[in-house]
Amino acid sequence: MSSQPPDRADVERLQDSVVAFVRAFGLHQPDSTPCGQSIPVSQAHALTELAARQPINQSELGSTLRLSKSTVSRLVGQLERRGWVERLRGTAGDGRMVELRLTPDGERLASAVAIARRQRMESLFERIPEARRCAALQALSILTEAATNDR
């Protein structure tokens, strides 16, 4: 971390750049994913994590997604009502723990989201000049680390 405070103009450039990226990437559109799926971004992220880690409990899902307990509870309720997630009594030694699993419909949708995400990332990566790809990945990593440490 730098010992000098950032220049105001640089902070404004960062702000403008992040806002421009959010808009260009489509993150400001609440009812669809940047990869073109017609579900909210939060639900797509939850489906992706469930597909990778199931069974998982709500607390673990919330921690992974960096969402509050109440937000995760609402999110899981939405996924359950849509028939994409089911709650099961825990099998890992504690029958009181509720675990989350994708339903067959949830599995299919999670797979479709993963495929669409991969295609979008490939398309974006192809548009970055090869000589600048490493720099782009490094910049995203630095921003992610800074945002993580800011919370």
Q: What is the pTM of this model?
A: 0.81
Predicted confidence (pLDDT) per residue in 88-104, tens digit = 876 656 666 789 999 99
In which band, very low, low, confident or very high, does the pLDDT at 135 lie, cut at 50, 70 and 90?
very high
The CA radius of gyration of the chain, in Å to the nearest whole number, is 18
- List Cα–Cα distances, 129 to 18, 63, 138, in angstroms: 20, 35, 14
Residue 35: CB partners within 8 Å, gap ≥ 6? 113, 116, 117, 119, 120
C-alpha to C-alpha distance for 142 and 42, rounded to whole angstroms: 23
Predicted confidence (pLDDT) per residue in 44-92, tens digit = 999 999 999 989 999 999 999 999 999 999 999 999 999 999 998 766 5
CATH number of 23-150: 1.10.10.10
Report residue 70 as tokens: 């109440």
